[in-house]
Structure 1
Amino acid sequence: MTTFDDIRLLRITYLRGPNLWTYRSALEVWLDLGTLEEWPSNRIPGFVARLTAALPALEEHHCGVGERGGFLQRLQDGTWMGHVLEHIVIELLNLAGMPTGFGQTRSTSTTGVYRMVFRARDEAVGRAALAQGHTLLMGLINDRPVDVAAAVEAVREAIDSAYLGPSTAHIVASATERRIPHLRLNDGNLVQLGHGCRQHRIWTAETDRTSAIAEGIAGDKDLTKRLIGAVGVPIPEGEVVDRPEDAWDVAQSIGLPVTVKPTDGNHGRGVSLELSTQAEVEAAWHVADAEGSEVIIERYIRGDEHRLLVVAGRVVAAARGESLWVHGDGSSTIAQLIDSQLNTDPRRGEAEEFPLETLKLDREPVIRLLLERQGLDGDSVPAAGRKVLIQRSGNVSIDCTDDLHPDFARVVSLAARTVGLDIAGVDLVAEDVRRPLAGQDAAVVEVNAGPGLLMHLKPAVGSPRPVGQAIIDHLFPPGDDGRIPLLGIAGGQAPQDVARLLAWLLQLAGRKVGLACRDGLFLGERRIDDADATDGTVAERLLLNREVDVAVFENGAATLLDQGLVYDRCRIGVVTDLDGAEALARHDIRSADDLPRVLRTQMDVVLDDGVGVLNADDPRVAELARHCDGSVLLYATDAAPLADHRAAGGRAVLWRDGRAWLCDGTAETALALRQAPAAAPAVMLPAIAAAWAFGLAPALLAAGLDTFDTRARAETR
């Protein structure tokens, strides 16, 4: 059998935003098939059979055929290995738990060299999937052993290390449903929702409206109890104790049975319930002391534990807990029964996406203490049929939102508001939350900042609750998408000066303008960085700045090809010209005729209520109007290409007789300048058009042109 050299990966580019291929982030790979250019899939003996045996779900890939089994048909008919690699990578991502449907592979002008691209939400994950897919493909081509499970696990590990936790991811997904953009600010769960002055930030289920004072109060259980008890929220009597011997005295004065827990613990760590003897209380004191800074003794409240999620003073979800038991079989130890009867629950696991933790006795002193009270330990073998209590309150995952009596909604809302939290997880113990509060034993035992959401997203019983939507609606009222107006200028040679003039006009209108262009990064007239801000890592800083209420971005063709756009959508998109193709040979751009398919990206991202501004002097640029979701405003130095657009009621800017004219249908208004403009028509017209589309009045446009000094601005370059 012929042995083939590895496919060479010539260049790997992460496209962070909308790009030539897709609206979303993607990984673009230039690859050289080498001798495999002469060996499509149907010419390599046994290859298709080996591939489909290793990855049987490839049958689900539609490919260009448009139906199930489409890719298999392409394999059997013969397709090139770049295309095969694309589908292997996509399938590895699917198997690793990150469904991915988009991919394309296209030939270049160099024989055997292809551009392959696939959807990549994260660069590290995309690169991991590519590396594993490449290794897998070469093994299958050369009939070497391959380990698909190991490849999938490697991709899954990359996903686990790179992606948002489940609570944060759910909130971000809820924001996306509202078309609110997001930016990840660190490797963890700090995320910005919205842009510039309209942004909010979340960190898991905490927000930039979460008070540090409130969070500090919630972390002190004794202080929380005193504050909420003072306003009438039912709480269990309790007292902080410094020594185990004092714990028994307090327990007796409160009344047995009691609960012992740390004042600043979390996730139920160190909490022991229903203790009735001195030995039990003192042993529980040591367990609680190891988990927190202080230990509190409380009256034990009979009933089930509940977690109620409060957002902006309103209960949006409620879940009930239940006790955990194992049943003896006469041969298995307690530790073995926990593994076989409890840890097999698919909701339990070590990773963040699991709503319940795996139970391990070596890290659960409360469970060990509870077993000791039953005369058992992890090595004990209970008789067949014997029930052994493992946790008094474990699986808080039974949805009971619709059963909640208004009395309980009222008191937990009061508790959250008293502590001062905008989002709170309130722990309540009650016999029956369906009945009124009066006449039953019930109390609020904790108020938690930054509560987990999984119990409400993946309940064991009942319906998931749209808690992320509630949090997003709290931060962004209906109608608020968190966006500031973004204006993008794309082209070959003109965009830099157009961006400078446009930013100047917006600044005169009283806006707090951010500008990213080749000259640097600007806030108003102040340059804060002289680095080339067409680089997305520099330009993105405008979206982070809470002072900015409108931002202008220069986007050359090279930026679109090398990085993609820094934003997902814009209010106004401008395409000025098709110059500069000669500098883009590395992207297989050979002439100006290749540029429209690149620059159309700027039109693709214009919002429905936005405006696309296009140079009608070049019919190839004007043709991009069909890719704009918003309205279109044309500009030209010749009236002829504007005629049909104006006849249909469209707006345009025309340079005629040495003056700029604003045309609204057949109506015309000349800009009355006091002096000859400093900028050339190729710069003025797109800037005027974009500023007019933004809503600036003709008089302000004229004043801006009179005061714009290209020479002074050139000195900053």
Structure 2
Amino acid sequence: MLTLELQKSLITQGPAYGIKQPLLIVNLTAPVGYPASWESIDAQLARVLGLSSRHSKGIDPSRPFFQQLALRLLSYARMIQTNAGLALHARGKILGTRQTDEGLAISSVAMPYVSPYSGAGLRVARWVFNSLQQLLIAENANSLGSELQKSFEALREELTQLGPRDTNTLRFVHAALQADIPHAWVTGPLFQYGWGAKQCLLNSSILETTPSMGVATARDKHACATLMRIGGLPVPDHGLAEDLPTAVSLAQKLGYPVVVKPANLDGGVGVAAGLNDEHQLTQAWESARRHSDKILVEKHLDGEDFRLIVLDGQMVWAVGRRPAGVDGDGLLTVAQLVEKANQDPRRGHHQGATLRPMRLDEEAMDLLQEQDLTLENVPVAGRFVSLRRAANISSGGTPTVVTERVHPDNRLLVERAVALLRLDLAGVDLIVPNIEKSWRETGGGIIEINAQPQMIAASQTHLYAQVLRSRLPGGGRIPVLVLMGDERIRSLAQEVYQLLRAQGQDPGLAIGRENWFPDGATGQTNRSAYHAARALLMHKDVQVMLWVIHPEDVLLNGLPIDRFDGLVVTDSPNPDQSTSHTDLRKALPMILPHCAGWVIADDSIQEQILRTRGLPTDTRFESGLSSSTLSSQILKRIQRLLGGDSV
């Protein structure tokens, strides 16, 4: 009989054990040895999860059964959440295992989850556990396929609703990870990058320095074009249409071809370009009205479509955008070419997709008819078959990098346009016949400015790190000191806090559930020591943070930061006032892997710290120091960190 159990042990709100995300810690009970057909089980799970190969191929097959099971639990749970678009980047680990006389192994397994969705993380863990359990005892694993598939689809649908609603947020998080920039979810689409005085807030690609007036104006296409026109910049003639007769009248006045688009939406939603007659105009109008009641009719500009990104007054990237379509090869039909193009792994609606699928809808069928083609026709090799009038990436278009080809006049044009809106980051849609020639020579104009540009297409992913670097001096980190132990720690921290203030620094101090701000004011009592520290990290005047905790604070919630610069651990010589050695022994392995600098410890616990795993190799120990000497030592270390010197 196979004995398997999964029990929740702890959910931390922050990192611990060297894992830089919040943790779900479970106890996994399994036999030490069991004859499992892992190859068959992995193949079945790969089919259910839609994987092209076995996800667990990196697991050493010589490991005992209980470790094989735990590692698959970690691996599959992480993969399911990342594939659903959740910003899960850390890898879990087996914290420890004890074996019973009955031949069972009880393993403590740390599984990272994406804040604030601990419940979803637990449901994923249970789904993976239950699926592995069923496959292990099933006489015919293939018979479970449809049942597992159905339950997995329901789980995946739940998870996809939790991920970011735009392509930017997830990629800013990944860019922060690669650049070692601390970050945390705040609320809704709002994320904090960096801590204290070296932080910024982002809502997708809207920066905290982006003026709301510029964003609102850019989103109103009529107002934005009016502003551009008054500012002497080239934009196509247009007008607002309250109803279809007005739209027809405007089109006749402007002269076909025209463009119809919602005046208050981004991303190419409801946009139809190159409309040549009233029939096409009517179809476009009805489509646009499904998305907005504010419709713009605009003179169509001849030329190629380009998106140029401007950051802090400088054009930093440019792509040409070809409308959704396929290139004939003389062998495949139009339908087959579209199907083949949509198999490109870059195309999709998942968070990792850099391109969108092509759709054979009403607009595509109309365009095929205009090109004297049907879905069954075989285009000759090299012929481009257009499926969209507008060249938006969001509707299946394909980008090409042209940054180095942009004519100086075109570069200056988009920089001046963004400056008119007072925006610090924007995407400008420019129509010109040739990006390498001046718009003054060839004609063309600005058709849209996006104050919240999606920057994923055409190898633009480097822009995320560039934006973060422009806003986060020093990588977004401030010195953080953790002080843990008996009552002496509180007095010591307050002394260091006051000394820093006297020297003109701006420290923040969190003691238990209380926090003290740099100006000496105290905040409200927080829910926990974790939240007291997290609150300080939100304030832009905090240059350094002192966090005073008891071991049980860490045991309950983990850490509010992914790493810190120094640790002071004390224990009272009076046994009646001594910190629980059991709690201390449990807390140290949770926090020491996150210490990037130094440790100061009492004689009574120095040996214990030395024997704890995960201690930084460059840690130095000092003990037997008086309170005044200790505060002086701490102050010197903090001053070095604030001055940028190595400790």
The C-alpha deviation readout for 1:693-716, integer Å capped at 9, x for no partner, is 3249xxxxxxxxxxxxxxxxxxxx
Q: Which moved more, 1:45-54 or 1:516-525?
A: 45-54
Deviation at 1:106, TM superposition (A): 1.9
Aligned residue among 462, 467, 476 for 1:466: 462
Q: Which residue is 1:143 aligned to?
A: 138
The C-alpha deviation readout for 1:23-75, integer Å capped at 9, x for no partner, is 55433222444xx3xxx33xx3454565455468376335xxxxxxxx2012x
Structure 1 residues 578 and 125, CA gap change in structure 2 (3 angstroms): farther
The C-alpha deviation readout for 1:303-324, integer Å capped at 9, x for no partner, is 2211112211222222222234
Aligned residue among 401, 408, 417 for 1:415: 417
SS in 2 for 1:521: strand
Q: Is the 8 A contact 2:271 2:390 kept in 1?
A: no
Give yes or no for the alignment of 1:120 onto 2:121: no
Q: Which residue is 1:708 aligned to?
A: none
SS in 2 for 1:413: helix
Q: Is the 8 A contact 1:499 1:552 kept in 2?
A: yes
Q: Is the 8 A contact 1:491 1:599 kept in 2?
A: no
Q: Which residue is 2:217 aligned to?
A: 217
Q: Which moved more, 1:146-155 or 1:506-515?
A: 146-155
The C-alpha deviation readout for 1:423-466, integer Å capped at 9, x for no partner, is 11111112221233343232111001111122134xxxxxx551
Q: Is the 8 A contact 1:192 1:200 kept in 2?
A: yes
Deviation at 1:582, TM superposition (A): 12
**Where do 1:238-637 residues align within 5 Å?**
238-325=238-325, 340=339, 343-359=342-358, 385=379, 389-394=386-391, 395-457=397-459, 464-476=460-472, 479-491=473-485, 494-518=488-512, 520-523=514-517, 525-531=520-526, 533-534=528-529, 536-577=530-571, 592=581, 595=584, 598-599=587-588, 602-607=591-596, 611-616=598-603, 618-620=605-607, 623=610, 627-628=615-616, 632=620, 634-636=622-624
Gaps of 5+ in 1: 63-70, 458-463, 637-653, 656-680, 697-717
Structure 1 residues 343 and 494, CA gap change in structure 2 (3 angstroms): same
Query: Normalized against structure 1, the TM-score is what?
Result: 0.73
Q: Is the 8 A contact 2:486 2:577 kept in 1?
A: no
C-alpha distance in 1, partners of 2:96/2:317?
49
**Where do 1:162-177 residues align within 5 Å?**
162-164=162-164, 165-177=166-178
Q: Is the 8 A contact 1:412 1:426 kept in 2?
A: yes
C-alpha distance in 2, partners of 1:149/1:243?
48
Q: Which residue is 1:227 aligned to?
A: 227
Q: Which residue is 2:50 aligned to?
A: none
CA RMSD of aligned residues (A): 4.0
The C-alpha deviation readout for 1:608-646, integer Å capped at 9, x for no partner, is xx553333464426748993466747241xxxxxxxxxx
SS in 2 for 1:539: helix
SS in 2 for 1:529: coil
C-alpha distance in 1, partners of 2:340/2:585?
62
Task: Give the counterpart letter for 2:353 in structure 1.
Answer: F
**Where do 1:156-167 residues align within 5 Å?**
156-157=156-157, 159-164=159-164, 165-167=166-168
Aligned residue among 75, 81, 89 for 2:66: 81
C-alpha distance in 2, partners of 1:384/1:80?
55
Q: Is the 8 A contact 2:427 2:450 kept in 1?
A: yes
Q: Is the 8 A contact 2:317 2:403 kept in 1?
A: yes
The C-alpha deviation readout for 1:653-682, integer Å capped at 9, x for no partner, is x43xxxxxxxxxxxxxxxxxxxxxxxxx5x
Task: Give the counterpart letter for 2:463 in structure 1.
Answer: V
The C-alpha deviation readout for 1:398-439, integer Å capped at 9, x for no partner, is 222233222222211111111221111111112221233343
Deviation at 1:267, TM superposition (A): 1.9
The C-alpha deviation readout for 1:254-285, integer Å capped at 9, x for no partner, is 34322232322322223222233344445544
Task: Give the counterpart letter for 1:89 in structure 2.
Answer: L
Q: Is the 8 A contact 1:612 1:630 kept in 2?
A: no
C-alpha distance in 1, partners of 2:344/2:99?
55
Give yes or no for the alignment of 1:60 onto 2:48: no
C-alpha distance in 2, partners of 1:519/1:391?
58
Q: Which residue is 1:67 aligned to?
A: none
C-alpha distance in 2, partners of 1:233/1:510?
49
Deviation at 1:368, TM superposition (A): 6.8
Residue correspondences, number: 605
The C-alpha deviation readout for 1:286-335, integer Å capped at 9, x for no partner, is 44444334333322211221111221122222222223447999xx999x
Higher Cα Rg, which structure: 1
Deviation at 1:191, TM superposition (A): 0.6
Q: Is the 8 A contact 2:184 2:192 kept in 1?
A: yes
Q: Is the 8 A contact 1:17 1:567 kept in 2?
A: yes
Q: Is the 8 A contact 2:469 2:475 kept in 1?
A: no
C-alpha distance in 1, partners of 2:526/2:265?
47
Q: Which residue is 1:185 aligned to?
A: 186
C-alpha distance in 2, partners of 1:301/1:481?
44
Deviation at 1:487, TM superposition (A): 1.8
Task: Give the counterpart letter for 1:4 in structure 2.
Answer: L
SS in 2 for 1:456: coil
C-alpha distance in 1, partners of 2:638/2:568?
12
SS in 2 for 1:192: strand
Structure 1 residues 52 and 538, CA gap change in structure 2 (3 angstroms): same
The C-alpha deviation readout for 1:141-166, integer Å capped at 9, x for no partner, is 42354546567656655653444454
Q: Is the 8 A contact 1:492 1:579 kept in 2?
A: no
Give yes or no for the alignment of 1:72 onto 2:74: no
SS in 1 for 2:442: coil
C-alpha distance in 1, partners of 2:100/2:508?
41
Deviation at 1:565, TM superposition (A): 1.3
Give yes or no for the alignment of 1:133 onto 2:133: no
C-alpha distance in 1, partners of 2:229/2:323?
27
Task: Give the counterpart letter for 2:94 in structure 1.
Answer: Q
Query: Which one has more relative contact order, counting CA pairs under 8 Å at least 6 apart?
Result: 2
Deviation at 1:135, TM superposition (A): 1.0
Q: Is the 8 A contact 1:14 1:27 kept in 2?
A: yes
Q: Is the 8 A contact 2:210 2:424 kept in 1?
A: yes
SS in 1 for 2:226: helix
C-alpha distance in 2, partners of 1:581/1:204?
53
Deviation at 1:371, TM superposition (A): 6.7
SS in 1 for 2:292: coil
Q: Which residue is 2:49 aligned to?
A: none
The C-alpha deviation readout for 1:324-379, integer Å capped at 9, x for no partner, is 447999xx999x67963664444433334333444556xx7755775787799xxx
Aligned residue among 624, 637, 642 for 1:693: 637
How many percent identity over aligned positions? 21
Q: Which residue is 2:201 aligned to?
A: 201
Task: Give the counterpart letter for 1:7 in structure 2.
Answer: E
SS in 1 for 2:17: coil
Task: Give the counterpart letter for 1:627 in structure 2.
Answer: L
Structure 1 residues 178 and 398, CA gap change in structure 2 (3 angstroms): same
Structure 1 residues 494 and 268, CA gap change in structure 2 (3 angstroms): same
SS in 1 for 2:458: helix
Task: Give the counterpart letter for 2:348 in structure 1.
Answer: G
C-alpha distance in 2, partners of 1:18/1:105?
14
Task: Give the counterpart letter for 2:458 in structure 1.
Answer: H
